[in-house]
């Protein structure tokens, strides 16, 4: 079992005929992901990568029975693509687009209210259920099916921790990259809830970083939960200078808020096992499981 996507997930790609989408979706298909169609306004009725292309998400859903979409649309149009998928009631939508304007994402968040859609991203590497479904742009070299759920704000660190947990013989149930943008879809709390309720996930790794309040919200949730599954956290950016934007997502600490040490303190007080550094995340999880 897994969360969000599995071997039965039927995927459509918004922006399928673009260069980046073609590159990554071809590799997703080779991995075994069940891609059933694509969406590109004005190219409905054609084929690309041997799957049908539709003018709208609603048409694609009706014809293919898809239950997930991945958005490969430039930043200026990404919000409209996400809202179209939300209005078509796609259960899972992943947006990998970087630099979506913040005000556009505010409109997307408003469109999500009261709907059945789980939005992952934007600026997300996506979701991977090893051996079953790749809905994103992550590498598939070191992943192994297993029992550790990983939810992360950092794509690079996710790849590192996936390799570590595989080498340790733990493997992953599902990895979810929630994205590093300040306004995004589902966050740590929603993913923690799903992993806690997944019978095939025995431990959860949370990869955080400076900026925002995702880690603090996760700590509040876990403090009230009395979770019987070990949670290990790594928070990057302990030595980041304050009030300086870091990385392509522009994470930063401002006016004493959002710093790594505060996040670590909150998570530790909620019973989370804190990995001392990047190299010891899998080892910390092994010790927590024992």
Contact 176, 151 (CB under 8 A): yes
Residue by residue, pLDDT tens for the chain (290 residues) are 699 999 999 999 999 999 999 999 999 999 999 999 999 999 999 999 999 999 999 999 999 999 999 999 999 999 999 999 999 999 999 999 999 999 999 999 999 999 999 999 999 999 999 999 999 999 999 999 999 999 999 999 999 999 999 999 999 999 999 998 999 999 999 999 999 999 999 999 999 998 889 999 999 999 989 889 999 999 986 655 565 555 554 454 444 556 889 999 999 999 999 999 999 999 999 999 99
Paired with 52 in beta bridges are: 47
pTM of the model: 0.94
Contact 129, 174 (CB under 8 A): yes
CA 275, CA 278: separation in Å to the nearest integer? 7
pLDDT of residue 255: 46
Q: Are 72 and 49 in contact (CB under 8 A)?
A: no
What are the distances in angstroms from CA 215 to CA 122, 206, 222, 261? 18, 9, 10, 11
> 131 has which bridge partners?
none
Say yes or no: do domains 1-123 and 141-290 share a fold: yes
Give the CATH number of domain 141-290. Answer: 3.40.50.261
Q: Which pLDDT belongs to residue 253? A: 47
Rounded to 10°, the helix 75-87/102-112 angle is 0
Specify the pLDDT at position 186: 98
On the 0-12 / 13-18 / 19+ scale of CB atoms within 10 A, 260 is buried
Q: At what angle do helices 214-225 and 188-196 cross, to 10 degrees?
A: 30
Distance, CA of 283 to CA of 126 (rounded, Å): 25
Contacts of 290 (CB under 8 A, 6+ apart): none
Alpha helices in the chain (DSSP H): 19-31, 57-64, 75-87, 102-112, 155-167, 188-196, 214-225, 260-269, 281-289
For the annotated catalytic residues, the residue numbers are 248
Domain regions of the chain by residue span = 1-123, 141-290
In this prediction, residue 289 carries a pLDDT of: 96
- Rounded to 10 degrees, the C-alpha dihedral 68/70/75/80 comes to -30
Fold of 1-123: Rossmann fold (3.40.50)
Q: Quick one: pLDDT at residue 196? A: 97
């Amino acid at each position: 079992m897994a969360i969000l996507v599995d071997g039965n997930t039927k995927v459509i790609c918004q922006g399928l005929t673009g260069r980046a989408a073609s590159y990554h979706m071809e590799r997703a298909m080779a991995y075994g992901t069940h891609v059933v169609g694509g969406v590109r306004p004005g190219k409905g009725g054609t084929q690309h990568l041997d799957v049908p292309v539709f003018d709208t998400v609603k048409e694609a859903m009706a014809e293919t029975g898809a239950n997930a979409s991945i958005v490969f649309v430039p930043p200026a149009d990404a919000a409209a693509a996400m809202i179209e998928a939300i209005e078509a009631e796609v259960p899972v939508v992943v947006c990998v687009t970087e630099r979506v304007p913040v005000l556009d994402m505010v409109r997307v968040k408003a469109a999500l209210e009261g709907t059945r859609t789980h939005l992952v991203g934007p600026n997300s590497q996506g979701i991977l259920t090893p051996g079953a479904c790749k809905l994103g742009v992550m590498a598939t070299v070191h992943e192994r099916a297993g029992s550790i759920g990983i939810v992360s704000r950092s794509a690079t660190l996710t790849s590192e921790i996936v390799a570590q947990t595989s080498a340790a013989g733990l493997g992953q149930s599902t990895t979810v990259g929630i994205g590093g943008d300040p306004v995004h879809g589902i966050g740590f709390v929603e993913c923690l809830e799903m992993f806690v309720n997944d019978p095939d996930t025995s431990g959860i790794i949370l990869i955080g970083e400076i900026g925002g309040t995702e880690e603090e919200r996760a700590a509040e949730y876990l403090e009230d939960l009395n979770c019987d599954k070990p949670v290990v956290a790594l928070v990057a950016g302990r030595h980041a200078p304050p009030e300086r934007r870091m990385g392509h997502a522009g994470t930063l600490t401002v006016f004493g808020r959002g710093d790594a040490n505060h996040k670590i303190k909150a998570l530790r007080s909620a019973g989370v096992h804190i990995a001392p550094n990047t190299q010891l995340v899998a080892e910390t999880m092994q010790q927590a499981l024992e």
